[in-house]
Structure 1
Amino acid sequence: MRISPLFAVWMLGLACAGGLHAQDLAKVCHATSSYDLTIQPGRLVFDRAGPAPTRVELAPGTLHTDGQPVPLNDEAQDRIDLFQQEVRALAPRVKAIAQHGVDLAMQAVQAESDGLGLDPDTRAELGRRLAANAAELHQRIAASQSTHDWRGDAADQYADQVIGDIAPLLASALGQQAVSAAMSGDLQQAAALRDQAASLASGFQPRLQRRLQVLRPDIQALCPDLQRLSVLQEGLRASNGRPLNLIQIGR
């Protein structure tokens, strides 16, 4: 099964900033799903490559799986309606955590650069680029209504976009410092700058992960909601008779 915490894959927005990703929520809440989720006006759509059902649509009082209507008694209709309400209430909370994570990630990049001895022009340009990337990521998260926006190559592409915008600027600044040191005869300083650049690249990810641990209580606060969703889906079956299992809660 593809590990992907249901209703919270917007957390992958944090991966775009080099930080938290979907498996972190799976570790905290033990909530996983094989489905992607799209929130549409009036209905929720869950889809996956397989096995059947590959498409589940929930609307007020109705359930369709793979295009077939599923007969529902009054209790099942109530469960469907409550399930939808819970998901729609959960989505903005998930996005808020993702937005906070983006800010933390950008702050971490800024903090790392503060120790590089960058010249004023480079610092100003770095600040401009960080602000622009943060604004774009915030907009993407705010506009997203589907986990498809953050899965697989899409998340990697967003991360590459941020890194590709910032890394050359820092590399150029450190390179110029190293060249200046070497030309002045300070080979030791030139070597130290090269080591600093290597350390920045290799050590940033774990330092960022530590910074993002402040998000853990907010993520933990989502766990009871995910547990409630798991309970609400109990007894709901697809048109082929199989349990829906839109979300699984592990131990």
Structure 2
Amino acid sequence: MSMNRLLATAMLVVACGSVHAQDLGKVCHATSSYDLTVQSDRLVFDRAAPSPTRVVLSQGMLQTDGQSVSLSAEDQDRLELFQRDLRALMPRVKAVAQQGVGLTMKAIDDESGSLSLDADTRAELDRRLAAHSAELRQRIAASQSTHDWHGDAANQYANQVVDDIAPLFASALGQQALNAALSGDLQQAAELRDRATNLTAGFQPRLQQRLQALRPEIQALCPDIQRLSELQQGVRASNGRPLNLVLIGR
């Protein structure tokens, strides 16, 4: 469903490249063409095309593209359950995303341990990682819309992380390589370059392996997402088309 963007990109923290965790679409086979915005009195689903491009659910009311839809008593009850269950699911999705942030930051910290950073650089890296972790966690907690996690927004944040921590690695490794070269230890200088290359090339698959630990947490969401899909079945927009707010594939 549309919340898979929140889950996937909330776990997007970059070190030497973009890293995407497994998302609801891969694990639960759940997708949506809509973005979701959660407001105090309504749920708003929107997309560029096709119609309906805007669906509003609020206390037994359904509106699509600005037109109120007449609901049977059964459909009204099911949509009220849909809203209740979706609101209840959001904190659970965010909790998994928060776990992903922790795993990712720990992975960056552990990977940097292979670089033999000096104490000052190590302390500064820890400080910056803690700051980025706190900021990302706050963003997840405060977010009420999947619009917050579109590609451009996620990439912009990722680039900020890279721009902040990459110079630390470059400076530390450069100094180590320079010291080795000046002392005549060309083999150590070459090993430093190889170590940096391995960190860059191998970080993504190693992080993906770590994030497999989240698979049971994501799988636990699947029955509730399946229920959301079932609750909206048969409800149609003002133009007669099915809502299809949540789709479950095979």
TM-score normalised by structure 2 residue count: 0.96
How far apart are 1:16 and its partner, in Å?
3.3
How far apart are 1:7 and its partner, in Å?
2.9
Matched with 2:42 is 43
Matched with 1:29 is 28
Match for residue 14 of structure 1 among 1, 11, 18: 11
TM-score normalised by structure 1 residue count: 0.95
1:180-195 aligned at under 5 Å gives the runs 180-195=179-194
Contact 1:37 1:46 in 2 (8 A): yes
Deviations 1:58-96 (A, max 9, x none): 001100000000001111110110000011000000000
> How far apart are the structure 2 equivalents of 1:16 and 1:239?
41
How far apart are 1:111 and its partner, in Å?
0.3
> How far apart are the structure 2 equivalents of 1:65 and 1:7?
20
- 3-state SS of the aligned residue for 1:45? strand
Letter in 1 for 2:34: Y
1:39-188 aligned at under 5 Å gives the runs 39-188=38-187
> How far apart are the structure 2 equivalents of 1:172 and 1:196?
15
Percent identity (aligned):
68
Contact 1:102 1:138 in 2 (8 A): yes
Considering only aligned residues, what root-mean-square deviation do their CA atoms show, in Å?
1.1
Matched with 2:206 is 207
* Structure 1 unaligned regions, length at least 5: none
> How far apart are the structure 2 equivalents of 1:7 and 1:61?
22
How far apart are 1:174 and its partner, in Å?
0.6
Matched positions, count: 246
How far apart are 1:199 and its partner, in Å?
1.2
- 3-state SS of the aligned residue for 2:245? coil
> How far apart are the structure 1 equivalents of 2:167 and 2:24?
32
Structure 1 stretches of 4+ with a deviation exceeding 4 A read none
> How far apart are the structure 2 equivalents of 1:93 and 1:16?
20
> How far apart are the structure 1 equivalents of 2:144 and 2:5?
10
- 3-state SS of the aligned residue for 2:62? strand
* Structure 2 unaligned regions, length at least 5: none
Letter in 2 for 1:6: S
- 3-state SS of the aligned residue for 1:94? helix
> How far apart are the structure 2 equivalents of 1:82 and 1:238?
18
Letter in 2 for 1:114: G
Deviations 1:112-138 (A, max 9, x none): 111111100000000000000000000
Letter in 1 for 2:10: G
